């Protein structure tokens, strides 16, 4: 910590006299400190912030103040400006008085001390479940019933949704833009109603900020290989439901990079338009989806540790690969909604997703709250058979052998040289697994392709050896799915 600068002058007695002598003709009284240290500046600043805003806290690397409807981010620029107010503050010395001389180092030191004093890492983690909107906070009981209550700091909400809520079932008038968008996306689909209701639950999960807190957290994949199928407008619709401060756009590939993952802190929704064709890092993806503790570092800032709570909704024209295959853990965290219909040109409304947010904010909110009620009552997203089939196709088109290798319910890579599985037994296990996963027979690799894929898998502890009578995998155990295996 830097020592305060001390100015010398004749002994003129008490600080009260100093204050009178140095008071500007038309300015405020100078700040009087006891020591002029960085610690004292931080303490006085905390007192000033509490007096000005009543409530202030520091969480996940940022400062927040209560602002009547939610906890608002207090920017670094605002904080620095308030620290600089102490530049020139007076403090007593043996020779009379000294003046605080601030520089970058001292400002950063005071803010660091203030951060430590106000830090509450779990402050937002313990927020009650609810939707924070313009006219109040919507609470939810376990059965999904709702109640609107006034805003208060104990709700620990960082965002306020741009809509007001007055109850209702969330039913959509046929002439509304929201109804037209959903109808245009799913018309003629046999599960059109189920898809629309599931999207409402997804919107509700984003509004609640509980995407990572569900018993079975999911990353939502809006999948449609054709153009103009409406998935991008649905993504814009979900963004429009929330304030900009609550939305991130981090692709799965970037989730493993702490320079990008840090931007998920405090967000309710992570919406990415295109997943991309590069391999996804499965472990980072699963950690973000399930809300595990992760670390992130913004440029020029310290590392922060936080638990992401955002619902991840991703849009793609083609399914990506996972760098180690799609194991059971990844599959459990995927919820695919197929967009099969190309919307005819006469039916299209340019920018309809954003337009709904601007013109039908209250209706959009009511629709999302109704979806949230169903989600809370059920405890999980509604099942969508067409989505499960899409995941099966995803596995078949990408890496079925990799999926089998990393399904710990079926295969265990032990690294133990005494654990030996003949290649033909491994293939029987793989075929049984593939059939159970619903992979079409024509998409299942033949035994030679399977053996080659396992041999080149480069998994630590797993070895492939050629023997006179049969090829074997060393360091592997498989469950006996068929009695003929043994």
Residue 422 has pLDDT above 60, yes or no: yes
pTM of the predicted model, to two decimals? 0.76
| pLDDT average, residue stretch 97-123 | 93
214 and 137 in a common domain: yes
Q: Check whether residue 201 and residue 291 sit in a common domain.
A: yes
114 and 142 assigned to the same domain: no
* Structural domains of the chain, count: 3
Q: Distance between CA 426 and CA 446 in Å, rounded?
A: 12
Give the integer Cα–Cα distance in Å for 111 and 30.
21
Give the model's confidence band at 336: pLDDT under 50 very low, under 70 low, under 90 confident, else very high: very high
pLDDT digits (tens, 9 = 90+) for 7-38: 333 333 333 333 343 444 445 677 899 999 99
Tokens 């995407």 belong to 211
Residue 114 lies in a domain: yes
DSSP labels for 297-329? --TTS--EEE---PEEEEEESSPPPBTT---HH
Q: Judge whether residue 420 has pLDDT over 50.
A: yes
- Give residue 149's pLDDT band: very low, low, confident or very high (50, 70, 90): very high
Q: What is the CATH number of the domain that holds 435?
A: 1.10.10
Identify whether 451 is part of a domain: yes
Cα Rg, the chain, nearest whole Å:
29
Beta bridge partners of 304: 296
Q: Give the residue from 340, 371, 391 where a domain finishes.
A: 391
Q: Please tell me whether residues 327 and 228 are part of one structural domain.
A: yes
Q: State the pLDDT at residue 8.
A: 36
Residue 3 belongs to some domain of the structure: no
DSSP letter string over 342-382? PPPGGG--TTHHHHHHHH-HHHHHHHHHHHHHHHHHHSSPP
On whether the CB atoms of residues 112 and 80 are closer than 8 A, the answer is no
The token pair at 416 is: 């133990």
Is the pLDDT score of 5 beyond 60? no
DSSP state of 46: H
Is the distance from CB of 313 to CB of 202 less than 8 angstroms? yes
How far, CA to CA in Å, does 141 sit from each of 135, 149, 160, 274, 432?
19, 13, 20, 36, 43
Q: What is the mean pLDDT of residues 428-432?
A: 93
The pLDDT tens digits for 23-78 are: 444 456 778 999 999 999 999 999 999 998 888 999 988 999 999 999 999 998 99
Domain boundary among 91, 118, 145: 118
Q: Which helix (H) or strand (E) holds 240?
A: helix 231-241
Predicted confidence at residue 322, as pLDDT, reads 65
- Boundary-marking domain end, from 370, 391, 412: 391
Range of the domain at 69: 15-118
In a domain, 4, yes or no: no
pLDDT in tens, 77-86: 999 999 999 9
Furthest-apart CA atoms within the chain: distance in Å: 103
Two tokens at 102? 């601030």
Alpha-carbon span 401 to 140, nearest angstrom: 44
The answer to whether residues 428 and 485 touch, using CB atoms and an 8 Å cutoff, is yes
**Do 188 and 215 lie in a common domain?**
yes
The Cα-based distances of 438 to 321, 402, 431 in angstroms read 19, 16, 11
């Amino acid at each position: 910590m830097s020592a305060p600068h001390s100015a010398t002058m004749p002994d003129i007695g008490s600080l009260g006299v100093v204050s009178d002598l140095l008071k500007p003709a038309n300015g405020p009284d100078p700040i009087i400190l006891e020591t002029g240290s960085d610690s004292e500046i931080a303490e006085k600043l905390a007192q000033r912030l509490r007096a000005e805003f009543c409530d202030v806290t520091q969480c996940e690397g940022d400062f927040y103040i209560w602002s009547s409807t939610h906890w608002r981010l207090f920017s670094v620029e605002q904080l620095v400006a308030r620290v600089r107010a102490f530049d020139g503050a007076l403090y007593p010395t043996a020779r009379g008085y000294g003046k605080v001389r601030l520089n970058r180092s001292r400002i950063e030191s005071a803010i660091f001390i203030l951060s430590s004093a106000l830090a509450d890492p779990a402050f937002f983690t313990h927020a009650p479940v609810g939707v924070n909107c313009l006219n109040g906070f919507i609470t939810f009981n376990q059965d999904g019933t709702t109640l609107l209550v006034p805003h208060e700091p104990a709700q620990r909400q960082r965002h306020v949704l741009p809509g007001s809520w007055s109850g209702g079932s969330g039913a959509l008038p046929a002439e509304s833009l929201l109804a037209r968008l959903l109808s245009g996306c799913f018309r003629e689909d046999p599960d059109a109603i189920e898809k629309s209701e599931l999207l409402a639950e997804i919107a509700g999960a984003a509004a609640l900020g509980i995407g990572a807190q569900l018993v079975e957290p999911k990353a939502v994949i809006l999948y449609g290989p054709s153009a103009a199928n409406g998935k991008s407008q649905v993504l814009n619709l979900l963004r429009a439901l929330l304030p900009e401060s609550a939305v991130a756009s981090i692709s799965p590939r970037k989730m493993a990079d702490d320079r990008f993952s840090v931007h998920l802190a405090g967000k309710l929704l992570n919406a990415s338009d295109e997943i991309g064709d590069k391999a996804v890092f499965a472990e980072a993806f699963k950690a973000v989806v399930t809300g595990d503790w992760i670390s992130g570092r913004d440029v020029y800032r310290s590392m922060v540790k936080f638990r992401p709570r955002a619902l991840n909704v991703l849009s793609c024209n083609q399914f990506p690969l996972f760098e180690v295959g799609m194991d059971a853990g990844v599959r459990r965290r995927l919820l695919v909604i197929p967009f099969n219909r190309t919307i005819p040109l006469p039916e299209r409304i340019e920018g309809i997703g954003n337009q709904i947010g601007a013109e039908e904010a209250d209706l959009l909110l009511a629709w999302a709250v109704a979806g949230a009620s169903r989600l809370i009552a059920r405890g999980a997203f509604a099942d969508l058979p067409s989505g499960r089939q899409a995941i099966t196709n995803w596995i078949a088109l990408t890496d079925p052998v990799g999926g089998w290798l990393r399904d710990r319910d079926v295969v265990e890579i032990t690294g133990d040289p005494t654990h030996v599985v003949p290649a033909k037994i491994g293939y029987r296990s793989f075929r049984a697994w593939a059939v159970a996963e619903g992979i079409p027979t024509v998409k299942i690799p033949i035994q030679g392709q399977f053996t080659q894929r396992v041999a080149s898998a480069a998994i630590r502890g797993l070895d492939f050896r050629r023997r006179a009578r049969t090829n074997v995998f060393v360091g592997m155990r498989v469950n006996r799915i068929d009695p003929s295996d043994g």
